């Protein structure tokens, strides 16, 4: 397990899937805001790649996020779009409603940076998020990410176009703040 100050990132377990499905993917508004595809219901036996234990490709790594105090599952995190040649990847995370507003997002980003830069030897990490996602923007910026641009009206979410913010962090700019 990779450890931060308050959360750990571990392998996804089969028993995590129903909790993540109910807390994240069955929520139409949340699902619409976090995916570039239209929301659709996910059946219990679905092979949807967001809700699988193993990922066969080399282009992403999925983690379950657990609180260190007690081991409670609080969400999921992903390093995706991993490009080993150009040495960059994207960061994604989702916290269950009960875990939001506790600083876990900042800690998850810190641990994903450690994994990307130290374990994987990447040169650049990138985050794309909706412009009104203040929690993710704050978590990224607290970890040293720099706003690199705004993709105007690039996301169709619940009947309207929203801006997305692009943030980046280079390995030599990163300052580890977590125990990871």
User: What is the rounded average pLDDT of the residues 66-88?
Assistant: 97
CA-based nearest residue to 75, from 7, 122, 128, 3: 7
Q: At CA 130, angle to CA 140 and CA 162, rounded to 5? A: 160
Question: Is 50 exceeded by the pLDDT of residue 148?
Answer: yes
Give residue 45's pLDDT band: very low, low, confident or very high (50, 70, 90).
confident
Q: What is the pLDDT of residue 43?
A: 76
- Count of CA atoms in the C-beta half-sphere (13 A) of 86: 11
- In order of their start, the domains of the chain are 2-125 (3.40.630.30)
Global confidence as pTM: 0.91
Q: What is the pLDDT of residue 38?
A: 80
């Amino acid at each position: 397990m990779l450890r931060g100050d308050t959360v750990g990132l571990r392998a996804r377990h089969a028993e995590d899937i129903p909790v993540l499905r109910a807390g994240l993917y069955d929520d139409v508004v949340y699902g619409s805001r976090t995916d570039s595809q239209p929301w659709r219901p996910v059946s219990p036996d679905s092979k949807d790649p967001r809700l699988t234990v193993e990922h066969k490709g080399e282009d992403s790594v999925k983690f379950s996020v657990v609180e260190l105090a007690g081991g409670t599952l609080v969400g999921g995190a992903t390093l995706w779009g991993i490009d080993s040649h150009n040495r960059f990847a994207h960061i994604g995370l989702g916290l269950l409603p009960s875990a939001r507003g506790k600083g876990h997002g900042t800690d998850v980003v810190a641990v994903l940076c450690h994994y990307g830069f130290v374990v994987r030897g990447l040169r650049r990490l990138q985050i794309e998020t909706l412009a009104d996602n203040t929690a993710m923007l704050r978590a990224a910026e607290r970890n040293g990410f720099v706003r690199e641009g705004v993709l105007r009206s690039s996301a169709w979410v619940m009947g309207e176009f929203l801006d997305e913010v692009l943030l980046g962090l280079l390995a030599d700019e990163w300052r580890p703040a977590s125990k990871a």
